Structure 1
Amino acid sequence: MLVGVPKERKNHEYRVGLTPPSVRELTSRGHNVLVQAGAGAAIGLSDGQYQSAGAEIVVQASEVFERADMVVKVKEPQPDECRMLRPDQILYTYLHLAPDPEQTKALVESGAVCIAYETITGPGGGLPLLAPMSEVAGRMAVQAGAHYLEIAHGGRGVLLGGVPGVAPGHVVVIGAGVVGTNALQMAIGLGARVTVLDKSVDRLRQLDLVFGNRITTAYSNAQSIEDAVLDADVVIGGVLVPGAAAPKLVTREHVGKMKQGAVMVDVAIDQGGCFETSHATTHADPVYIVDGVVHYCVANMPGAVARTSTFALNNATIGHAIALADKGWQRAMKEDVHLRRGLNVCKGNVTYQAVARDLGYKYVAPEAMLEGN
């Protein structure tokens, strides 16, 4: 199979779909790989390294899309990239379709086979291709919160760890999944007072056993969210409903009652955000203020630490990339139900139930796309 890796086009996105070691894994199995010139240059991955791994370097993204049987990316295709996709071509990347009707429409019209990292499941449960970026984003969320709490950036002027004689800042983490767990670890490490909310009592019990009195756990409901948010210096939203739009758990009314200069970090913004006042921002212009509260809603947070993120992501994605290249998408999905759950759009059909429901498309089961193949 001919696998193509274009340079990412999203604002301040420096990650790359395949590293040179990943390219070598594919070329050693007899596959050919095209890499756009400079695709990994920003994170120290030179064209020469890709060539040494067996890749062919091409100048234009259009050549990658025109020639490749499978396009491997990091972020969702931008509008011009959607127009370059063709019927039956495999697109393997993050998609986050539920809050993005324009992209969904473009992918449906392309006729391509679109596989989303974020909905591929794992044998032990969970979302193993989303997890490494959730780990990065959860850890970065606390860094961002601490930074924008500084008064020069519109914050309250609070040091999260405090100092002797002065109370630490209060970090509220909504959602105790991968994002939330990594966020609370960082917040504890800084010496902050930490409250974590989740609807799973079992998960709260697990965290309590690990962290004990270093955190406060609370069952997530409207009252507990309001109480915690109004007392917070930093609120981190890490709620995920796989493949679906994120629920709006912090309302505009809550924001209006929060402390002036508090910071909200919406890690769920890729799925539409879990704060009612959230809208996507970029690394070039990461924050805005609503009712005196700083909002950080960057839709590709891990892109700020692109080298770490790229290698972490490739560790998770290369196995399925090899399976797709070795077997073709139909056979690979027939043999692996977890990979099959990554199929979001296929040959003009929406094949992920939450996306179809949220955007008003007819749902076609992915198994139906495999019949007769």
Structure 2
Amino acid sequence: MKIGCPKEIKPQEFRVGLIPAAAAEATGRGHDVLVETGAGIGAGFTDEDYTKAGAKIAPDAASVFDAADLIIKVKEPQAGERKMLRKGQILFTYLHLAPDADQTRDLLDSGVTAIAYETVTDARGGLPLLAPMSEVAGRLAPQVGSWALQKANGGRGVLLGGVPGVAPANVVIIGGGVVGAAAARVAVGMGANVTVMDRSVARLSYLDDVFMGKLTTQYASEAATAQLIRSADMVIGAVLIPGAAAPKLVSHAQLSTMPQGAVLVDVAIDQGGCFETSRATTHQDPIYEVDGVVHYCVANMPGAVARTATQALGNVTMPHLMALADKGWRQALIDDPHLRAGLSTHEGQLTSVPVGQALGLDAVTADAVLGL
């Protein structure tokens, strides 16, 4: 199979979809690998690293899209890239279709077979291709939030860990999953007063045990959320419903109840955001203010630490990439129900029911497409 890796073109996105180790694995199995020149530079990988791994270097993205049977990326294809996709081609990347009607329509029109990293599952019910980026984004959230809290950036001027005689910042994390736990680890380490909210008592119990009393756990009712944000210096939105749009957990009206200069960090922005006033931003222009509350809503947070994030993503995508290349998409999905869960579009059909529900579109199941 011909595997193609174009350079990411989303603003301030420095990751790359294919690491040299994966290129070497693929070429060692007899596959052709084509990488756009400069694709790996942002993550610290040179064209020479790829050629040593057996890959060929393409002069531009069009050459990659034209030649490849399987396109591997990091972020969702941008409008210009979507025009280069075609029926019979496989696209393997993050898609986040639920809040993105334009992308969904373009993928359906192209006829491409699109498999979304974020909905591939595992035997434990987890999301293994999303988890490493969730870890990265979660660990970054208190870091970027503390930057946004600085007075020069519009924040309250509060130091997360405080100092002797001055109380630390109050950090509320909504969602105790992979993102929330990672954010809590860093926020606690920075000395903040941390509360994690979740609707799973079992998850709250787990976090209480792991952190050994160094944070507070709270069942995530609407009333509890409303009460906690009134005294929060930072609120981190870390809620995910796989494949679906994120629920809105803090309303516009509630911003007036928060301290002036408080910070909202929306890690769920890829799925539409979990604050009513959230809108996607970039690393180049990461924050904005609504009613005196600073919002950080960068849609590709892990891109800020591109080398770490690329290596972490490459480690988990490699086995699935090899399965798709070795077997073809159909047999790979028949053999692996967890990879099958990632199928989002195929030859003009939407194959993600949650996306269909979010966008009001008809959808069929992956099983139906495969005749299972």
| TM-score, length basis structure 2 | 0.99
Number of equivalent positions? 372
1:303 & 1:43 partners in 2: Cα distance?
A: 9
2:12 & 2:233 partners in 1: Cα distance?
A: 28
Task: Please give the residue correspondences for 1:274-293 in structure 2 after superposition, counting only pairs within 5 Å.
Answer: 274-293=274-293
> 1:218: how far off?
0.6
Equivalent position of 1:298 in the other structure: 298
> 1:367: how far off?
1.4
> 1:157: how far off?
0.6
2:319 & 2:45 partners in 1: Cα distance?
A: 21
For each residue in 1:206-258, what CA deviation from the matched residue of structure 2 results, as whole angstroms up to 9, or x when unmatched? 11111132111110011000111111001000000000000000111111211
For each residue in 1:154-185, what CA deviation from the matched residue of structure 2 results, as whole angstroms up to 9, or x when unmatched? 01010010111110001100000000000000
1:315 & 1:24 partners in 2: Cα distance?
A: 13
Are 2:11 and 1:11 aligned?
yes
For each residue in 1:276-333, what CA deviation from the matched residue of structure 2 results, as whole angstroms up to 9, or x when unmatched? 0100000111000001110000000000000000000001101100000000000000
> 1:93: how far off?
0.1
2:31 & 2:56 partners in 1: Cα distance?
A: 11
Task: Please give the residue correspondences for 1:18-97 in structure 2 after superposition, counting only pairs within 5 Å.
Answer: 18-97=18-97
1:353 & 1:37 partners in 2: Cα distance?
A: 37
2:210 & 2:140 partners in 1: Cα distance?
A: 21
> 1:365: how far off?
1.0
Equivalent position of 1:321 in the other structure: 321
- Give the percent of matched residue pairs that are identical in Structure 1 and Structure 2: 59
Equivalent position of 2:105 in the other structure: 105
> 1:74: how far off?
0.1
> 1:371: how far off?
2.5
Local SS of the residue matching 1:324: helix
2:105 & 2:38 partners in 1: Cα distance?
A: 30
Local SS of the residue matching 1:84: coil
Equivalent position of 2:308 in the other structure: 308
Moved more, 293-302 or 39-48: 39-48
Local SS of the residue matching 1:71: strand
> 1:368: how far off?
1.8
Q: Output the amino acid matched with 2:357.
A: R
1:367 & 1:223 partners in 2: Cα distance?
A: 41
Task: Please give the residue correspondences for 1:157-306 in structure 2 after superposition, counting only pairs within 5 Å.
Answer: 157-306=157-306
2:347 & 2:368 partners in 1: Cα distance?
A: 11
Q: Output the amino acid matched with 2:226.
A: E
Moved more, 167-176 or 207-216: 207-216
For each residue in 1:318-354, what CA deviation from the matched residue of structure 2 results, as whole angstroms up to 9, or x when unmatched? 1100000000000000000000000011110110110
Equivalent position of 2:333 in the other structure: 333
Show structure 1 runs of 5+ residues with no match: none
Local SS of the residue matching 1:369: helix
2:257 & 2:343 partners in 1: Cα distance?
A: 42
Show structure 2 runs of 5+ residues with no match: none
Q: Output the amino acid matched with 1:369.
A: V
2:312 & 2:142 partners in 1: Cα distance?
A: 19
Task: Please give the residue correspondences for 1:324-363 in structure 2 after superposition, counting only pairs within 5 Å.
Answer: 324-363=324-363
The CA RMSD over aligned residues, in Å, is 0.8
Equivalent position of 1:143 in the other structure: 143
Q: Output the amino acid matched with 1:329.
A: W
1:361 & 1:16 partners in 2: Cα distance?
A: 31
Local SS of the residue matching 2:212: helix
2:345 & 2:225 partners in 1: Cα distance?
A: 35
1:73 & 1:198 partners in 2: Cα distance?
A: 32
Deviant stretches of 4+, over 2 Å: none
1:368 & 1:97 partners in 2: Cα distance?
A: 20
Local SS of the residue matching 2:281: coil
2:5 & 2:55 partners in 1: Cα distance?
A: 10
> 1:41: how far off?
1.2
2:14 & 2:164 partners in 1: Cα distance?
A: 40
2:211 & 2:70 partners in 1: Cα distance?
A: 44
Local SS of the residue matching 1:214: coil
Equivalent position of 1:369 in the other structure: 369
